[in-house]
Structure 1
Amino acid sequence: MTGQPGVDIPDARGRTGLDLAGRDLDGNPRVRVREVRVLTSNWFVTRTTTFDFQHSDGTWTTEHRETYDRGDGACILLYDAEARSVLLTRQFRYPVYVNRHPDGMLIEAAAGLLDDDAPEAAIRREAEEETGRPVGEVEHVFDVYMSPGSVTERLHFFAAPYRRGDVVSGARAGLADEGEDIEVLELDVDDALARIGVDIIDAKTIMLLQWAALRGPFAAARS
């Protein structure tokens, strides 16, 4: 009998038992997971889960939800408080391009998946890979679920200073073997804030810019 990749035989990443996710949850007595099926197991994992849910009036219903599991990630706002500048990136994102973005070129804060690293270690790696700049002392800002209706990812938000002219030895913006072609943008923070909703339309980047202006490195100047 042929098995299912990611369930009883290894998938492309060597994983099995992906249908066990959620079966041991006991934090909410109003939720009873009944069945978990793996729909796809390529780089990321799509599951459909059947569970019983007790509503506020005491009645129970059987619900079905699809979840997309890409692992957790981290993002970071690199800033120069004295120069009042922030370091962002611009790169092609096919999912936004196919959903009516004019050219798919999105302005973003540096970000990436944890890949089994601790959040701070992962974001240092990603920031240096994407911007070619060394990262200063990292500050944890908050953790957020970005699309809780279907995506399991928890995103860890950070901020850190950078210094103009500092470059990681031998670095380039992005990894060629991952198909990355990244442009690094150094923007005045007020210019970046003014561009929110215009050409800065990435949620994590907007959240970090607003944090920086309201409570972060640029808050005092705006009070």
Structure 2
Amino acid sequence: MTKPFQFTADDVKVEKRETVFQGFFRMDKLWLTHRRFDGEDMPIFTRELFIRGDATCVLPYDPQRDEVVLLEQFRLGALGRNQSPWLLELVAGMNEDGESPEEVAQREGQEEAGLTFEPLEKICDYLVSPGGSTEMIHLYCGRVSTENAGGLYGMEHEHEDIRAHVVSAEDAIAMIHDGRINNAAAIIALQWLELNRARLRKGWQ
């Protein structure tokens, strides 16, 4: 059996690329071909690609109180579904040029929840929707104290309106199991917490 990952970016040829939309986000159209598993080349085809920078997300966790901080805010992409478009999410923000994910985590922790993380533990990096988007998420868990956490936050010039909620780890994990939390970063981070909670409670005290 052939092992996976036999191809690299060198096996893709972009014949033409143009920007078809530039607004808050950017969309490019590509004409491309690539190697096929049968050894032939794919006929040239077109795809639209959503150009979106990387982002960093953090699950704030207090191991002493066994609580997390989750942010509630409006999300346009959830509008029109059979649910509220106000979601419970992680601390998150777009990575700016020259910023490390850890620097983004600390900046967004302050702006969105008034929190500083010490330490930050890497969970994973993952591609959000690689069929049509360039975005990569850098996902972390950060130790905080939830003693005085919660309240209203957000950058008004960015049209942010955020309520930070302090939730028991048990209740947060229950919300991913029953579907009340249904965004990928929060699901992955809370499932990771479910697996690593005992270790963090012992090692982060």
Q: TM-score, normalized by length of structure 2?
A: 0.86
- Separation in 2 of the partners of 1:209 and 1:198? 13
- Structure 1 position 44, deviation (Å): 2.1
Long gaps (5+) in structure 1: 1-25
Structure 2 equivalent of residue 90 of structure 1 = 72
Q: 1:118 aligns with which of 77, 100, 104?
A: 100
Structure 1 equivalent of residue 179 of structure 2 = 198
- Separation in 2 of the partners of 1:64 and 1:177? 37
Does the C-alpha gap of structure 1 residues 121 and 182 become closer, same or farther in structure 2, counting only changes over 3 Å?
Answer: same
Q: 2:44 aligns with which of 62, 68, 71?
A: 62
The 5 A counterparts of 1:123-202 are 123-165=105-147, 173-196=153-176, 197-202=178-183
C-alpha contact 1:73 1:114 (8 A) present in aligned 2: yes
Q: Which aligned segments of 4 or more residues in structure 1 are displaced greater than 4 angstroms? A: none
- Structure 1 position 138, deviation (Å): 1.4
C-alpha contact 1:130 1:174 (8 A) present in aligned 2: yes
Partner secondary structure for residue 130 of structure 2: coil
Partner secondary structure for residue 185 of structure 2: helix
Partner secondary structure for residue 181 of structure 2: coil
- Separation in 1 of the partners of 2:17 and 2:8? 18
The amino acid that maps onto 2:13 is R
Please identify which structure carries the higher helix content: 2
Structure 2 equivalent of residue 213 of structure 1 = 194
- Separation in 2 of the partners of 1:30 and 1:151? 19
Does the C-alpha gap of structure 1 residues 192 and 76 become closer, same or farther in structure 2, counting only changes over 3 Å?
Answer: same
Query: Deviation string for 1:22-43 (max 9, x for gaps)?
Result: xxxx953321110001011123
Does the C-alpha gap of structure 1 residues 218 and 185 become closer, same or farther in structure 2, counting only changes over 3 Å?
Answer: farther
- Separation in 2 of the partners of 1:54 and 1:133? 47
- Separation in 2 of the partners of 1:59 and 1:212? 44
Of 187-196 and 130-139, deviating more is: 130-139
Does the C-alpha gap of structure 1 residues 129 and 220 become closer, same or farther in structure 2, counting only changes over 3 Å?
Answer: closer
Q: TM-score, normalized by length of structure 1?
A: 0.79
C-alpha contact 1:73 1:112 (8 A) present in aligned 2: yes
- Separation in 1 of the partners of 2:179 and 2:57? 21
The amino acid that maps onto 1:34 is E
C-alpha contact 1:114 1:123 (8 A) present in aligned 2: no
- Separation in 1 of the partners of 2:107 and 2:82? 28
Q: How many residues align?
A: 191
Structure of greater relative contact order (alpha carbons < 8 Å, 6+ residues apart): 2
Partner secondary structure for residue 142 of structure 1: strand
Partner secondary structure for residue 56 of structure 1: coil
In percent, how many aligned pairs have the same letter?
A: 29
Of 27-36 and 44-53, deviating more is: 27-36
